[in-house]
Amino acid sequence: MAKTVKYDDVSWHTGGEFPEDLDAQAARTHIGFFIGWAIDNNFQSDLLNENFPEEIEKFKQRKISGSKIIEKCCDDKLTSDDLNDVGIKFANYYYDELYMDDYADLSDDDLATIYHEPDNYEKYKQVFDVIESRYRSWVESKN
């Protein structure tokens, strides 16, 4: 069995210079957008499907956010255990090197920090579109 890769962890964001006016939910937003993209593309792991079918379905119905998936189903972490083989390969390429830059580029310059970005469907859709574009380029580069 392959070693688990940790792509992100809420605790990595909530220490140090994390804004005092925000709680940990704000540190889940960007991670939640990525797991949301994965779920919307069926790149989540069998483990998530088996252990959290109701939450996955609620996300697909837009009854909960991806950040709630991270909180309730993923122990506040995004790891390779949360993704299927395609999701892992793409996350290995994209998450560490490009995702946070893309996320910061989409951030509202009028907000104090990227952590102040709203955790709503409108913002998710913007981020989804960028991840999707990166994914399609990645797939094309493989062919």
Q: What is the pTM of this model?
A: 0.96
pLDDT confidence band for 124 (50 / 70 / 90): very high
Give the residue with greater pLDDT, 143 vs 36.
36
60-111 tens-digit pLDDT: 999 999 999 999 999 999 999 999 999 999 999 999 889 999 999 999 999 9
DSSP string, 7-39: EEEHHHHHSTT--TT--THHHHHHHHHHHHHHH
Average pLDDT of the residues of the chain? 96
